[in-house]
Amino acid sequence: MHPIGLRLSTGLPVVAAGPLSEQAVDVEVEARRVLAKRVHDVALASEARVFGVVVGLKLGQYRPRLVEDVVRELRKAGKRPVLLACRELTPSVEAYFPGVEVFVSTPCPLIALFDREGFHKPVLTPAEAKLAVSGRWREGYVDPFQGF
């Protein structure tokens, strides 16, 4: 697991040790930066109406039950889910769906957490999407890997 992802998931201090570089790095500063971005995206998503739920087409990234769960939660909250089948979620996908306000990455949470460069709209993990539409996002952040 990615060291910053581990920190976000557990809330515990994490030191990334590189056996080849023989260095140990505390990831706290970077984790706080990532967390601030995540909370910002969740806050933006809480106001959105149309959510693009990304269905992964790569081997091992097709998660139909997770997609169904996300769609159910979005509908329950009065949001409009749009299913988007993609081999890869990239900023170019965003351009093809101008009506989508938020993307929910069901194939891989790492895209939402660490591969956000180039996206202009929020990209959330399923757990973050649920938090955004629940109305409880101000109460605290969730484990972004929940459900995977």
Task: Sketch out the chain's domains with CATH numbers.
Answer: 3-139 (3.40.50.11860)
Look at residue 132 in the predicted model and tell me its pLDDT.
93
Which residue reads 């539409």 in tokens? 133
Q: Do 130 and 41 touch, CB atoms closer than 8 A?
A: no
Find the angle CA(44)-CA(58)-CA(83) to the nearest 5 degrees. 40
Strand 123-124 to 102-105 pairing: parallel
Q: What's the length of the chain?
A: 148
Q: What is the pLDDT of residue 145?
A: 62
The pLDDT, as a whole number, for residue 68 is: 97
Q: What is the pLDDT of residue 34?
A: 87
pLDDT of residue 141: 67
What pLDDT shows up at residue 136? 75
Model pLDDT, residue 103: 97
At 107 the pLDDT is 92
C-alpha span between 48 and 122 (Å, rounded): 10
> What pLDDT is recorded for position 148?
46
State the pTM of this model: 0.85
Q: Nearest to residue 41, comparing CAs of 110, 113, 107, 123? A: 123
Low-confidence ranges of the chain (pLDDT < 50): 148
pLDDT given at position 138: 67
